[in-house]
Amino acid sequence: MNFSRLIALPAAGAVQQIPTAFTPVWVNVTVGNATQAFEWSRMADGSPYMVIKGCFTFGTTTSFTSNIEMEVPGGFTATRLTNQISEGTTHLFDSGTATNNQFATLSLMPGGNMNFIATATGVGIDATIPFTWVSNDRISINAILSIDEWGV
């Protein structure tokens, strides 16, 4: 394991940059009338790490066609920290069964997109995994990416 790429806390006095709102670019998703609220920011001045937070709420015309992916925002390129660590966590909320809360990991794929892997099944999220997606179901994302353009 390459420990030199693990996340370190910012230096004392470092300030996280102001978040930038963005609309994700999705792969295998028909956004339709979904609502999205996403933002990214640099972890701290001079830090190579990007923090991503956001929520995607299904609408009546939203659908997944296959394993979903999200592009890294801002046109940046990200690199996996290690093969053993995911880049983020995802909370999956099934509005039809409020007790059916699931989780997924967020991992960078070789092409640079973030892939969502359902924790319970170990496979990618799609139209029926980990449940059948309908209006008002939600995906909440928290991720930290190592951005190539910012150096390490």
What are 44-82's pLDDT values in tens digits? 888 889 999 999 999 999 999 999 999 999 889 888 866
> Residue 11 domain-assigned?
no
Task: Classify residue 13: in a domain, yes or no.
Answer: no
What residues does 59 pair with on adjacent strands? none
Give domain status of residue 5, yes or no.
Answer: no
Asked whether residue 32 is domain-assigned, the answer is yes
The Cα–Cα gap between 130 and 145 comes to 25
Q: Is residue 1 part of a domain?
A: no
The domain containing residue 113 runs over which residues?
19-150
Between CA 58 and CA 76 the distance in angstroms is 26
What distance lies between CA 51 and its chain's CA centroid? Answer: 10
Q: Report if residue 9 sits inside a domain.
A: no
What's the structural domain count of the chain?
1
More confident call, 110 vs 140: 140
Model confidence pLDDT, tens digit, residues 85-112: 788 999 999 998 877 889 999 988 877 8
**For the residues 105-133, what does the mean pLDDT come to?**
90
* Banded pLDDT at 22 (limits 50, 70, 90): very high
* 8-17, 29-38, 90-99, 125-134: the lowest-pLDDT one: 8-17
> Contact 40/19 with Cβ under 8 angstroms?
yes
Residue 10, pLDDT score: 52
Closest CA to 73 of 113, 107, 100, 35: 113
Is 4 inside a domain boundary? no
SS (H, E, C) 48-103: CEEEEEEEEECCCCCEEEEEEEECCHHHCCEECCCCCCCCEEEEEECCCCCCCEEE
12 has pLDDT over 70? no
Residue 11 in this model has a pLDDT that exceeds 90: no
How far are the Cα atoms of 64, 109, 123 from residue 134, in angstroms, in the given order? 10, 26, 19
Residue at 10 is within a domain: no
